[in-house]
C-alpha cells in the first residue's frame, strides 16, 4: 500500500496482469480518442491484459456519429469479440472530427451478455450508461460522466462549456451554469434510478475537488445514497491529485452502499499507467466480488462461428453472389446505408428497431430467390454491399448460404 503523493500507486494496487476472478471496473479521462487512428485498439489491448470487465471513459472529444461509433467498435472488436458500448456527445453540430466533452461506457467479454439496457444524456452528452442484470432481478447501472470545468462563457468557443451553455440557452435558460446544471440533472437521474430499485456505480471527472466540503459534487452525496468508493475503502488515506497538472483529486468512482459492500480492493495507478491507455489523468480501479454483486458469475460466451462461402465450385459461388445481390436490392440495403450516413445520432425509434437486426433469417428458399442475371441492373453501392457479404474471401455473408 502506497500513500506517497508523488507519481506512485495508491491503495491496493497489486499487479493488475495477475489472473483474477473479480468484476474489475476501470475509469479514466482519456483526453481524446481518435477514431481514425488505433487509439481504441491500444486501449482494448491494455484492458484485456488486466482482464477488465468495465471501462468508463470521460472526455472522449469525439462526435459520436454512426461512422465514428462503427470505427471505434471495429477497433475494439480486434481485441474483444463480445462487447457493448454506450456513448454520449453534445447534440451541437461540430466541424471536423473533434468535439470537446463526451463519454463512453464499455462492457467487455462475458459481461456484455449481462447488458439489458443502455442510455445517455442525449441533449448535452454529459453521461452514458449501461444496465447489467444479475440474479433475482438485481440490476446495476454503470455510468461514465463528465462535468465541465467552471469557466466564463465565450460565444466564439467550441469548448464543452460553451456548447452546453448555448444548448441550455436554446432550452430557455437565460444565464445557464453548465456545472451546476450538470449536478442538478445528474441528481434527478440518480434519484429516478433509485426509485426503480437500481444499484449504481458512477465513474466521473468532476473537474473540481471531490473532497472539498463546499464543492458542487457534495450535493450528489447529500441528496442520493452514493458514496465515494475509494474513500470508503481507505477513509484515512488522502487521495492524490488525479490530473497531472492539478493539485486535488477531481476523478472518482462512486456507488450505492450495496456495491460498496462487495469491493475486494481499490486503487489508483500512477500517471501514464498502463502506457497504452492515453490521458493525463490517473486511472482509477475497483475489484468487486461478482458472486455477491450479481448473485453469480456469467459464463464465457461461445465464439461466433466464422461465416463465409466455403465452396470452391465457381458456379455455386456465382449463384450465391447473384442471390445475395438480389436480396440486397430487395431490401434496399444501399438506401438504408445512405440514411444511416446522414444521421448524426440514433433516435429512440432507431434503437427500438436495432434488436430486429439479429432475428433469425428466413429459410434459404424464401430468402434467396433464384435470379438469372441481376448484377447489370443494380446500382453500384448494392454490388459493393453484396461483395462484402458474399465473395469467397468474405467472413460475414448472410447466414443461409447455398450448400456446396
Q: How many CB atoms lie within 10 A of CB 182?
A: 25
pLDDT tens-place string over residues 52-82 = 999 999 999 999 999 999 999 999 999 999 9
3-class secondary-structure state, position 145:
strand
Which residue do the cell numbers 458500448 mark? 85
Do 274 and 378 belong to one domain? no
For the residues 225-237, what does the mean pLDDT come to?
A: 96
Rounded to whole angstroms, the Cα distance separating 221 from 156 reads 35
356/268 same-domain check: no
Collapse the DSSP code of 165 into the 3-class scheme (helix H, G, I; strand E, B; otherwise coil) and give the result: helix
104 and 193 housed in the same domain: yes
d(CA 208, CA 251): 8
The answer to whether residue 398 is domain-embedded is no
pLDDT for the residue numbered 402: 42
Q: Is the model more confident about 139 or about 322?
A: 139
54 and 149 share one domain: yes
In the sheet that holds 10-11, the strands lie side by side as: 10-11, 263-268, 284-288, 23-29, 54-58, 103-108, 83-88
Looking at every residue in the chain, the average pLDDT score rounds to 84
- pLDDT for the residue 385: 43
Answer yes or no: is pLDDT of 94 > 90. Answer: no
Mean pLDDT calculated for residue range 356-366: 49
Q: What's the confidence (pLDDT) of residue 353?
A: 66
Query: Range with the lowest mean pLDDT among 118-122, 288-292, 381-385?
Result: 381-385
Q: Same structural domain for residues 270 and 380?
A: no
If you average pLDDT over residues 10-35, what whole number do you get?
Answer: 88
Which residue, among 103, 110, 113, 82, has the nearest Cα to 24 in the 3D structure?
Answer: 110
Same domain for 126 and 57, yes or no, is yes
Amino acid 400: pLDDT: 44
Q: Which residue among 261, 294, 327 closes a domain? A: 294
At residue 304 the predicted structure's pLDDT band, cuts being 50, 70 and 90, is: low
**Are residues 87 and 161 both part of a single domain?**
yes
Residue 302 maps to a domain? no
Is 381 within the bounds of a domain? Answer: yes
pTM (predicted TM-score) = 0.74
Q: State the residue range of the domain holding 320.
A: 314-390
- Largest separation between any pair of C-alpha atoms in the chain: 77
| Higher pLDDT pick, 318 / 267 | 267
Q: What are phi and psi of 347, to 5 degrees?
A: -80, 175
What does the pLDDT average to over 204-218?
95
What's the domain count of the chain?
2
pLDDT at 398 over 50: no
φ/ψ of 82, rounded to 5, equals -120, 125
pLDDT of residue 354: 59
Task: Judge if 273 and 350 occupy the same domain.
Answer: no
What is the pLDDT at residue 158?
A: 87
Q: For 336-358, what is each residue's pLDDT tens digit?
A: 888 877 776 667 777 666 555 54
Q: 74 and 22, same structural domain?
A: yes
| Residue 297 banded pLDDT, cuts 50, 70, 90 | low
Q: Are residues 273 and 385 in the same domain?
A: no
Amino acid at each position: 500500500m502506497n500513500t506517497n503523493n508523488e507519481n506512485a500507486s495508491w491503495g491496493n494496487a497489486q499487479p493488475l496482469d495477475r489472473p483474477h476472478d473479480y468484476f474489475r471496473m476501470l475509469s479514466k479521462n482519456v483526453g481524446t480518442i481518435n477514431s481514425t487512428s488505433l487509439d481504441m485498439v491500444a486501449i482494448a489491448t491494455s484492458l484485456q491484459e488486466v482482464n477488465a470487465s468495465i471501462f468508463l471513459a470521460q472526455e472522449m472529444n469525439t462526435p459520436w456519429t454512426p461512422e465514428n461509433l462503427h470505427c471505434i467498435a471495429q477497433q475494439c472488436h480486434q481485441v474483444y469479440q463480445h462487447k457493448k458500448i454506450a456513448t454520449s456527445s453534445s447534440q451541437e453540430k461540430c466541424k471536423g472530427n473533434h468535439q470537446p466533452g463526451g463519454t463512453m461506457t464499455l462492457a467487455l467479454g462475458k459481461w456484455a451478455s449481462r447488458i439489458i439496457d443502455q442510455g445517455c444524456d442525449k441533449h448535452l452528452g454529459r453521461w452514458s450508461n449501461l444496465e447489467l442484470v444479475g440474479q433475482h432481478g438485481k440490476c446495476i447501472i454503470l455510468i461514465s460522466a463528465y462535468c465541465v470545468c467552471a469557466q466564463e462563457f465565450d460565444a466564439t468557443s467550441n469548448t464543452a462549456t460553451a456548447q452546453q451553455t448555448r444548448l441550455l440557452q436554446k432550452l430557455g435558460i437565460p444565464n445557464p451554469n453548465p456545472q451546476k446544471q450538470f449536478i442538478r440533472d445528474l441528481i434527478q437521474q440518480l434519484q429516478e434510478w433509485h426509485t426503480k430499485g437500481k444499484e449504481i456505480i458512477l465513474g466521473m471527472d468532476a473537474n473540481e475537488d471531490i473532497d472539498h466540503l463546499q464543492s458542487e459534487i457534495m450535493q450528489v452525496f447529500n441528496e442520493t445514497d452514493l458514496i465515494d468508493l475509494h474513500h470508503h475503502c481507505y477513509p484515512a488515506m488522502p487521495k492524490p491529485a488525479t490530473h497531472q497538472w492539478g493539485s486535488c483529486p477531481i476523478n472518482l468512482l462512486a456507488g450505492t452502499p450495496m456495491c460498496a459492500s462487495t469491493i475486494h480492493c481499490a486503487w489508483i495507478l500512477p500517471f501514464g499507467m498502463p502506457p497504452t491507455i492515453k490521458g493525463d489523468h490517473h486511472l482509477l480501479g475497483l475489484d468487486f466480488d461478482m458472486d455477491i454483486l450479481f448473485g453469480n458469475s456469467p459464463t464465457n460466451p461461445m465464439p461466433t462461428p466464422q461465416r463465409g462461402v466455403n465452396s470452391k465450385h465457381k458456379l455455386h459461388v456465382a449463384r450465391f453472389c447473384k442471390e445475395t445481390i438480389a436480396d440486397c436490392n430487395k431490401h434496399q440495403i444501399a438506401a438504408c446505408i445512405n440514411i444511416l450516413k446522414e444521421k448524426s445520432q440514433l433516435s429512440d425509434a432507431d434503437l427500438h428497431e436495432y434488436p430486429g437486426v439479429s432475428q433469425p433469417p428466413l429459410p434459404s428458399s424464401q430468402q434467396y430467390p433464384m435470379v438469372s442475371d441481376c448484377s447489370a441492373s443494380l446500382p453500384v453501392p448494392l454490388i459493393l454491399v453484396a461483395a462484402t457479404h458474399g465473395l469467397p474471401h468474405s467472413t460475414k455473408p448472410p447466414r443461409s448460404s447455398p450448400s456446396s
